[in-house]
């Protein structure tokens, strides 16, 4: 038995990864890819697949807001396919993403909590684009009444505020405060600010630390 992850391994940024844990070790993995045929396709379709709802006009996205369909594909097609081909611990599925992929991960968490669909046990989001559509996902999470054993690990880089050119976007400290308000004492939630890292630097340490945190805890 071995862990299996599905990841767009060709493009380190803006990806979503599905990790189906098959044993306690996280160091031996097979990684067949979920992704797009090339960078151009990925760059044009990630805004379609990773966002919900449809983007406001300011973003000038030609296509967006179909994360619900992408999540349905993962839930109803991908996971059954993985389950059929591998011996999977169905209680230990992990969804990970960065940037817009991190937004999708948080969106999938929200849908899980709202519908009590527990296909995933853990969500790990590196620098999620929570500002999308005027902080839509933060506002939706705040409305939920939570009581769930799900594990969630969310990070930002300490240099991201300085990198961001839009002064209207919430600072990372404010995002952490909103998430903590929504999650504290309701789910297993952990957050970190990597003080010396920028937006593109957070995925690797986030995924390593997030996996170590969730896979080494008693559940």
pLDDT tens per residue, range 172-188: 999 999 999 999 888 99
Residue 25 CB neighbour total at 10 angstroms: 12
How far is it, in rounded angstroms, from Cα 4 to Cα 23?
A: 10
Q: Tell me if 186 sits within 8 A of 146, measured CB to CB.
A: yes
Indicate the class that CATH gives domain 66-215.
Answer: alpha beta
Using DSSP bridges, classify how beta strands 122-126 and 151-157 pair: parallel, antiparallel or unpaired.
parallel
Share of the chain above pLDDT 70, in %: 83
- Alpha carbon of residue 188 to chain centroid: 15
pLDDT value of position 26: 42
* Pair of tokens at residue 49: 């697949």
Is the pLDDT confidence value at 9 over 60? no
Through-space distance between the first and last CA atoms of the chain, rounded to whole angstroms:
20
How far is it, in rounded angstroms, from Cα 116 to Cα 196?
A: 37
pLDDT, averaged across the chain: 83
The per-residue pLDDT for range 47-73, each reduced to its tens digit, is 999 999 999 999 989 999 999 999 999
Q: Give the burial class of 67: count Cβ atoms within 10 A of its Cβ; 0-12 exposed, 13-18 middle, 19 or more buried.
A: buried
- What are the CA-CA distances from residue 76 to residues 30, 40, 68, 85, 117 (Å)? 21, 27, 12, 15, 12
pLDDT value of position 156: 98
């Amino acid at each position: 038995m071995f862990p299996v992850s599905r990841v767009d391994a060709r493009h380190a940024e803006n990806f979503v990864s599905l990790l189906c844990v098959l044993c306690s070790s996280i160091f031996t993995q097979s990684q067949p890819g979920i992704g797009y045929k090339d960078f151009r396709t990925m760059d044009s379709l990630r805004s379609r697949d990773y966002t919900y709802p449809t983007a406001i006009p300011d973003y000038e996205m030609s296509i967006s807001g179909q994360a619900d369909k992408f999540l349905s594909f993962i839930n109803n097609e991908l996971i059954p396919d993985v389950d059929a081909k591998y011996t999977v611990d169905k209680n230990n599925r992990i969804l990970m993403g960065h940037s817009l992929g991190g937004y999708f991960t948080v969106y999938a968490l929200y849908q899980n909590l709202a519908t009590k669909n527990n296909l995933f046990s853990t969500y790990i989001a590196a620098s999620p684009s929570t500002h999308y559509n005027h902080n839509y996902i933060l506002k939706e999470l705040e409305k939920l009444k939570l009581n769930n054993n799900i594990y969630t690990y969310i990070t930002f880089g300490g240099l991201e505020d300085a990198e961001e050119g839009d002064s209207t976007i919430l600072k990372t400290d404010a995002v952490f405060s909103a998430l903590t308000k929504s999650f504290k004492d309701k789910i297993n939630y952990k957050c970190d600010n990597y003080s010396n890292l920028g937006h593109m630097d957070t995925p690797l340490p986030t995924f390593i630390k997030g996996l170590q945190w969730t896979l080494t805890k008693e559940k």
